[in-house]
Amino acid sequence: MVAAFPGTRSRFEKTTTSILLAVSFCHLLNDVMQSLLASLYPLFKANYALDFVQIGLLTMTFQVTASLLQPVVGMVTDRWPMPYSLPAGMACTCAGLILLGNAHSFAMLLVAASLIGFGSAIFHPEASRVARLASGGRHGLAQSLFQVGGNMGSAIGPLLAAFVVLPFGQGSVAWFSAIAMLGMIVLGWVGAWYAGHRRQNASRPAVSRALPLPQGRVALAFLILVLLTATKNVYMASISSYFTFYVIDQFQLGMRDAQLMLFLFLAAAAAGTFLGGPIGDRFGARFVIWFSILGVIPFALLLPYANLFWTGVLSVVIGLIFASAFSAIVVFAQELVPGRVGLIAGVFFGFAFGAGGLGAALLGNFADTHGIAFVYRVCSYLPLLGLLTILLPRLPQRGES
């Protein structure tokens, strides 16, 4: 193999870090565009006279579309890898963004949200696989770098909404299609690396799919991870979708100040995501899951009763702690069910979107009937479901997967 591709091995070793940074950067671009949808809810609510149920339906359309498709994409690409599907996913997101900027009805907003969801479904499973391939065995670090790009993009989105779209109007959303074009160029290069990596390793034996534990224990652990992901993302959706409305209602903030409060939470979540991976590589994914899911409980319970200052402080602490779990959950699941990286990424990235979307729609109904403050009091108890973490097994040490 070396003779057929002289110098190939050293070239891929040298480009590992650059590939990790490239997929993280494109995840940032992807989620900047996606986060504009939620960041512009107050504008859409005013322009189209939407109620909270319709706001929830927008989130559900975007997130459930991604949720339903991501596991399917993951299963297909586990069997037939598609290196150049990455720029195709970015192109789909770009189309949704252009439509979002030019929509003239609620129905068009729903179509735009579904296109952005399609782009997410295509992008995440294969990008997560590339991050694992380029990890050099440091799977937690790789997943954290990949995920932190997305979290940073989600944090930047509200700032762009506050300082670009709100002053210049809904049509300015389409300007960000230039971001998608940049992402397509970078992902074309990543796709070429991925295709070359596959050629280099074509003669190697396939990764073993032997389960590390009895099938029943694997199924139980997998179900617990799914439930933890659902709990985490319904709670996070309560903040990302409705936090601006909450602080406006509770503390009479202006729209721009409310967007800045949302940015604080999302930026803290990005930092927590980054820290979770290296800590997981050092102490194990199970330890990070324990710390993140259980450690957030007291802060979540206090949030609905805090004043403006402590609401800001608690939202930062919650974002920092709670977000650290996700990369650890993905790595734990990949080790639990080896050889199915795309499926695992599709299930957990997809389920993250889907659970958050369904939760957002339900919470929107509660917000209309009982008030936004009631939503935050109810959601403060969700992290208590994290006590299920005690049922997660310890995985035996295994070789590279």
CA–CA separation, 73 and 342 (whole Å):
8
Could you please report the per-residue DSSP string of 277-307?
HHHHHHH-HHHHHHHHHHHTHHHHHHGGG--
Per-residue b or e along 77-96, where b marks 16 or more CB atoms closer than 10 Å to that residue's CB: bbeebbbebbbbbbbbbbbb
Is residue 397 situated within a structural domain?
A: no
Q: Rounded to the nearest 10 degrees, how much is the dihedral formed by the CA atoms of 280, 333, 323, 278?
A: 20
Q: In whole numbers, what is the pLDDT of the chain averaged over residues? A: 81
Is residue 1 situated within a structural domain?
A: no
In the chain, pLDDT over 70 holds for what percent of residues?
A: 91
Is residue 292 situated within a structural domain?
A: yes
Is residue 396 situated within a structural domain?
A: no
Is residue 399 situated within a structural domain?
A: no
Q: Which amino acid is at 22?
A: A
Is residue 311 situated within a structural domain?
A: yes
Please say whether the beta carbons of 274 and 21 come within 8 A.
Answer: no
Average pLDDT of 211-230? 86
Number of domains, the chain: 1
Report whether pLDDT(324) > 90: no
Is residue 68 situated within a structural domain?
A: yes
Tokens representing 368 are 């209309």
Report whether pLDDT(400) > 50: no
- Please tell me the predicted confidence (pLDDT) of residue 318: 92
- Please tell me the predicted confidence (pLDDT) of residue 146: 86
Please say whether the beta carbons of 89 and 31 come within 8 A.
Answer: no
- Which helix (H) or strand (E) segment holds residue 396: the answer is none
In the chain, pLDDT over 90 holds for what percent of residues?
A: 11
Residue with tokens 């210049």: 168
Greater confidence (59 vs 131) lies with: 131
Q: Which CATH number covers residue 90?
A: 1.20.1250.20
In angstroms, what CA-CA distances link 323 with 152, 248, 316? 12, 24, 11
CA-based nearest residue to 81, from 203, 222, 202, 204? 202
Residue 254 — φ and ψ, nearest 5°? -75, 170
Greater confidence (347 vs 399) lies with: 347
- Give residue 204's pLDDT band: very low, low, confident or very high (50, 70, 90): low
- Note the pTM of the prediction, 2 decimals: 0.68
- The helices-and-strands tally (H runs, E runs) of the chain is 16, 0
Rg from Cα positions in the chain: 21
Handedness of CA 55, 364, 68, 139 (dihedral sign): positive
Q: What confidence tens digit (pLDDT) does each residue in 135-194 have? A: 877 787 888 888 878 777 877 877 787 788 778 877 777 788 888 889 999 999 999 998
- Give residue 203's pLDDT band: very low, low, confident or very high (50, 70, 90): low
Range of the domain at 146: 11-202+211-391
Q: What confidence tens digit (pLDDT) does each residue in 373-392 have? A: 888 888 888 888 888 888 88
Is residue 26 situated within a structural domain?
A: yes
